[in-house]
Amino acid sequence: MSSYGSGERTILHVDVNSAFLSWEAAYRLQHGASLDLREIPSVVGGDRESRRGIVLAKSIPAKKFGIKTGEVLWQARSKCPNLVVVPPDYSLYLQCSNALMELLSQYTPLLERYSVDECFLDITHSLRGRSPLTIAREISQRIKNELGFTVNIGISNNKLLAKMASELEKPDKIHTMFPSEIPEKMWPLQVNELFMVGRRTAAKLNMLNIFTIGQLANASPKFLTAHFKSYGKLLNQFAWGIDDSPVNPYASEAKGIGNSTTTPFDVDNEREALLYLLSLVETASSRLRRANLMAGVVSVSIRKTDLSFSSHQRRLPVPTDNTESLFKAASALFKELWDGSPLRHLGVAFSSLCSDGFYQISLFDEGRILKNKNLDASIDAIRTHFGSTALIRGSFVNSGIPPLTGGVMDGFPVMAKPALKGGYR
Amino acid sequence: MKILMKSVDMIFSSSKDGIITPLRFRLSEDGEESRIVKIDRIIDRKEEKLAGNPMLVFTLQSTIDGVERIFEMKYEVNSFKWYLYKM
């Protein structure tokens, strides 16, 4: 059943404007910076020392120089020589994201963190006689005053339309996109602006002479199904703003937690490769624990010096968040995957995540579950309090390999997930 | 007032209700000998949570070099650090 036209629900989509950059700017201002990063051409970009860093977020003045998210740093610098580049600080972003969630949770318990900087609120039953716009204005104002950054808020009857609304003009704006406004506000947009339409789908649609969302809405569903199978039907529904997925506060925020690194030198022996793997597992597993999650599947990926890429994954007998067990699984996978040729990139990812609320005891447990859990908790606590390198493994001493590597996203995907939660069939 | 954001050594008290009161701090200016500044009066205290980072912001009054001065100090809850924020 679709909620289209029923007007029963009231959904807000809150999206932080240039999230990483705004958060960095707010933090710096709090610490006495005289310059607001948002007002100058600036970007948050990968590792300063690495030539391979990319733009993760940009300020609006940087956008005016044609700098794009995902662009390589040197390219961005060539467009704007005075560009200010700040390194990313993922724990700060998680802190900001958590503070945002805490503020929003004062408005409704039906709150779904969709990514680190986006979430949906179902305020249908929390209006208390106020209009959605009044609530949105209050939220936006409070975030600005209390947390020091701006958001876009989209208001509608379902998640899809609320998200489409918040993507309209930025920053610091509130937009509505009720079903009656679709022809006027959504249909003139380019088809690639539609949720779930990526670059390749957009190109394919353009080949079929479909350039705007309106054209997609008015294309025959049969025609779309012929070209895109069931996805075609879904695209057509989206173009009409049809979506009945619920705001699910219990949706696991992260689909996977991963970590990867490009090594400064080519890795050609197993010891070094495993040390790199261990340092990746160290950070990824501590993020897993911080998000109160356990991993059911471990995967390892490698890129050789000829840039060929391969990966290998396995389901664990029981989900775990223990560094040692995860490393054991990862190193077994690595040994099966690697043929001995030099490597320039290694990655570890944990998926099939579940809550760490309970632990399924298995016959094959190593009998030290609680001890390992306490050990991990102590290590995490020491590192949080005294710095990530306060406690490192002996095997890293004099190895030239950082004891902890990576840091991308503490449990929450940087980019929005490919599908709205709730499932479409 | 100018923004300084200088970290300082501080002696403060914490009441059984968790109320924090700055008492005196050590101010060391470049090239000068450090000196102790006693807090004479707490004019205002508020909490801020910019960037999700909780800080206590105090507006204080002290006598420095025989002159009564009003300034702001910040206590960063996560790092336990005190800053002379504005003077």
- Chain segment A385-401, per-residue pLDDT in tens: 887 778 888 888 888 78
Residues A295, A381: one domain? Answer: yes
Contacts of B76 (CB under 8 A, 6+ apart): B53, B54, B55, B82, B83
- Which of A30, A34, A97 has the CB atom closest to B50's CB atom? A30
Backbone angles phi, psi at A232, to 5 degrees: -60, -40
Nearest to A147 among B52, B55, B85 (CB): B52
Catalytic residue at A118? yes
- The arithmetic mean of pLDDT across residues A260-264, rounded, is 80
Check pLDDT > 70 for residue A76: yes
Shared domain check, A372 and A263: yes
| Whether A296 and A352 share a structural domain | yes
pLDDT: is B40 or B65 the higher one?
B40
CB spacing of B51 vs A32 below 8 angstroms: no
Closest residue to A31, CB basis, from B5, B49, B52: B5
Beta-carbon separation of B51 and A100 below 8 A: no
Angle subtended by helix axes A90-104 and A132-142, to nearest 10 = 140
Q: What is the pLDDT of residue A411?
A: 36
Q: Answer yes or no: do B51 and A34 touch at CB < 8 A.
A: no
Q: Are residues A315 and A379 in the same domain?
A: yes
A204 with A326, same domain: the answer is no
Smallest CA–CA separation between B51 and chain A, in Å? Answer: 5
Per-residue confidence at A51, pLDDT binned at 50, 70, 90?
low
Taking only the tens place, the pLDDT of each residue in A114-155 is 888 999 999 999 888 899 999 999 999 999 999 999 999 999
**Number of domains within chain A:** 2
**Domain limit, last residue, from A178, A210, A239:** A239
If pLDDT is split at 50, 70 and 90, which confidence band does A196 have?
confident
pLDDT reported for residue A254: 59
Q: Which residues of B touch A26 (CB under 8 A)?
A: 50-51
- Whether A375 and A270 map to the same domain: the answer is yes
- What domain range is A213 assigned to? 187-239
Same domain, A391 and A260: yes
Is residue B47 over pLDDT 50?
yes
Domain with residue A199: its CATH number is 1.10.150.20
Instruction: Confirm whether A125 is domain-assigned.
Output: no
| Domain shared by A392 and A350, yes or no | yes
The answer to the question of residue A18 being in a domain is: no
Residues A299 and A192 in one domain: no
For residue A312, give the CATH number of its domain: 3.30.1490.100
- Do both A329 and A208 map to the same domain? no
What percent of chain A stands above pLDDT 90?
47
Q: Does A34 touch chain B (CB under 8 A)?
A: yes
Residue A288 lies in a domain: yes
Does the pLDDT at position B17 exceed 80? yes
**Interface mutation vs chain A, best among B7, B53, B55, most A CBs within 10 Å:** B53
Long-range contacts of A382-390 (CB under 8 A, 24+ apart): A383/A286
Q: Are residues A234 and A266 in the same domain?
A: no
Return the minimum-mean-pLDDT range out of A9-23, A71-85, A161-175: A71-85
The answer, yes or no, to whether residue A412 has pLDDT greater than 80, is no
Task: Place A418 in a pLDDT band, splitting at 50, 70 and 90.
Answer: very low
The pLDDT confidence band at residue A363, using thresholds 50, 70 and 90, is low
Residues A264 and A387 in one domain: yes
ipTM score of the complex? 0.89
Nearest Cα of chain B lies from the Cα of A17 at a distance, in angstroms, of 13
Peptide bond before A246: cis, by omega within 30 degrees of 0? no
Exposed (0-12), middle (13-18) or buried (19+): which is A172, by Cβ within 10 Å?
middle
Considering only CB atoms, B5 lies closest to which of A26, A32, A97, namely A32
Q: Decide if B85 and A99 are in contact by the 8 Å CB cutoff.
A: no
Q: Does the beta-carbon distance from A23 to B51 stay under 8 Å?
A: yes
CA distance A5 to chain B (A): 38
What is d(CA A362, CA A39) in angstroms, rounded to the nearest whole number?
Answer: 56
Catalytic residue among A24, A118, A167, A282: A118
Mean pLDDT of A245-268: 79
